[in-house]
């Protein structure tokens, strides 16, 4: 994991057969990537795993030692296939039980709604021993944090509310900024010069994205860095390269920046 002087990194583990089957389209990845970056945390990896305990355990254990923060989404509801809490407990080698604060929150919620607080719904109060609850202002069933792993709901509105409630716990570095510049030139024409620029700016990530617009092929170059001065300098050289190759650089709002 990174030190205080380095880039702070995170990984997202998306849990659920429904994602892998295509029945549900994930909306949590783009939200977390954007919000983490605003906090100074770079989402460096994302994994999608099925509702299989061994797969979840392996992913959590691999990622929690590699990244500063790990976020999981999905699998903390009331049904039999909601096994994230048990799997995270297994990953940390701890027991799991009904958290008294979670039980009280849910009991009050179901008393207010007039719905039965049955055994299935009580499953949402089970968290690994030693975990801290993450507030859920939307549907009350909490997420939880254990060490550097944050376990969140899969429903986007609930996940977003949970993230906002824990955001203050994250210690980030400088946010990563991006500059996107398009030109009506092919990737192959840009490639040699862009490769040379990347060598001169190892601290600025440069990505090349071909496009087809208005009947013409072109390339969008997206540069990313937490150093705004270096990013600006690299962007100026990219524009100069485009002009040298006979193109006219265009600030690109349609890029995958």
Nearest to 226 by CA among 208, 205, 207, 209: 205
Give residue-wise pLDDT tens across range 61-91. 999 999 999 999 999 999 998 999 999 999 9
Residue 163 pLDDT > 60: yes
Instruction: Judge whether 216 and 182 are in contact, CB under 8 Å.
Output: no
Average pLDDT along the chain: 93
Q: What is the pTM of this model?
A: 0.83
Q: Are 71 and 13 in contact (CB under 8 A)?
A: yes
Q: In the predicted model, is pLDDT for residue 246 greater than 60? A: yes
Helix runs in the chain, H state only: 17-21, 28-39, 53-64, 84-92, 100-113, 119-122, 156-166, 187-200, 228-244
- Asked whether the predicted pLDDT for residue 255 surpasses 70, the reply is no
| Domain extent for 112 | 8-169
Instruction: Give me the pLDDT at residue 6, please.
Output: 66
> pLDDT per residue over 21-40, tens digit each?
999 999 999 999 999 998 99
Same domain, yes or no, for 162 and 212?
A: no
Cα 187 to Cα 52: distance, rounded to the nearest angstrom: 41
Percent of the chain exceeding pLDDT 90 equals 88
CATH number at residue 156: 3.40.980.10
The number of distinct structural domains making up the chain is: 2
pLDDT at 16: 94
- Whether residue 103 sits in one domain with residue 207: no
Examine the domain organization and report whether 128 and 195 are in the same domain.
no
Q: Phi then psi for 201, rounded to 5 degrees? A: -125, 70
When mean pLDDT is compared over 34-38, 160-164, 213-217, the highest value belongs to: 160-164
């Amino acid at each position: 994991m990174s030190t205080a002087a380095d880039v702070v990194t995170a990984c997202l583990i998306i849990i659920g057969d429904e994602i892998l089957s295509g029945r549900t389209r994930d909306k949590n990845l783009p939200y977390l990537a954007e919000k983490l970056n605003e906090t100074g945390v770079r989402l460096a990896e994302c994994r999608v795993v099925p509702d299989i305990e061994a797969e979840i355990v392996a992913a959590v254990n691999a990622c929690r030692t590699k990244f500063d923060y790990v976020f999981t989404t999905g699998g903390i509801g009331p049904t039999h296939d909601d096994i994230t809490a048990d799997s995270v407990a297994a990953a940390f080698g701890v027991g799991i039980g009904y958290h008294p604060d979670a039980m009280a929150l849910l009991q009050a919620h179901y008393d207010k709604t007039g719905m039965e607080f049955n055994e299935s719904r009580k499953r949402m109060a089970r968290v690994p021993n030693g975990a801290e609850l993450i507030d859920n202002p939307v549907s009350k069933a909490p997420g939880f944090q254990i060490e550097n792993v944050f376990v969140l709901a899969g429903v986007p509105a609930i996940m977003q509310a949970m993230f906002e409630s824990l955001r203050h716990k994250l210690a980030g570095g400088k946010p990563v900024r991006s500059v996107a510049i398009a030109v009506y030139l092919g990737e192959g024409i840009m490639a040699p010069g862009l490769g040379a620029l990347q060598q001169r700016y190892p601290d600025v990530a440069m990505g090349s994205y071909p496009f087809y617009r208005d009947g013409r092929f072109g390339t969008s170059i997206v540069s990313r860095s937490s150093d705004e001065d270096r990013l600006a300098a690299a962007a100026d050289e990219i524009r100069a390269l485009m002009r040298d190759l006979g193109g006219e650089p265009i600030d690109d709002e349609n890029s995958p920046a």
